[in-house]
Amino acid sequence: MFAALSDPTRRAIVRRLADGEATVLELAEPFPISLPAISRHLKVLESAGLISRSRNGQHRPCRLRPEPLTEIVGWAEHTTTAWEQRLDRLEAHLRATTAASPNPTTKDPR
């Protein structure tokens, strides 16, 4: 999933699909790249399970699949909590170390 989202064009496509389904032509409109390049980006997103495509007559609308993004959010929240705990322990250690160390004395300017 992270590899699929590492590309800025694919992230922009995902952001667009968060607003609702869109055709390949609609998704390609804001980008200065070819339709085959957009199709390759869509295949990467589809392979990662981030989007789905269906056939509706001549159109193949793309839809965002929220489940994988929910997994990413869960992972990010877990990671954030773990790092916050580590940083809290570091802060407590630094406070204890600072409180335990003697005050620096000034040297005689002679």
Asked whether residue 108 carries a pLDDT value surpassing 70, the answer given is: no
The answer to whether position 21 is within a domain reads yes
The answer to whether residue 107 scores a pLDDT higher than 80 is: no
Check whether residue 86 and residue 51 sit in a common domain: no
Same domain, yes or no, for 55 and 88?
no
User: Is residue 50 in a domain?
Assistant: yes
Contact (Cβ atoms closer than 8 angstroms) between residue 13 and residue 39? no
Q: Are residues 59 and 72 in the same domain?
A: no
pTM, two decimals, is 0.70
Same domain, 81 and 33: no
Phi and psi, residue 51, nearest 5°: -135, 165
Does the CA dihedral 40-41-46-49 come out positive or negative?
A: positive
Number of domains into which the chain is organized: 2
Residue 11 exposure: Cα atoms within 13 Å on the Cβ side: 6
What confidence tens digit (pLDDT) does each residue in 41-55 have?
999 999 999 999 988
pLDDT, tens digit (0-9, with 9 covering 90-100), for 83-104: 999 999 999 899 988 888 776 6
Query: Does residue 10 share a domain with residue 60?
Result: yes
Parent domain of 94: 66-98
Shared-domain flag, residues 18 and 60:
yes
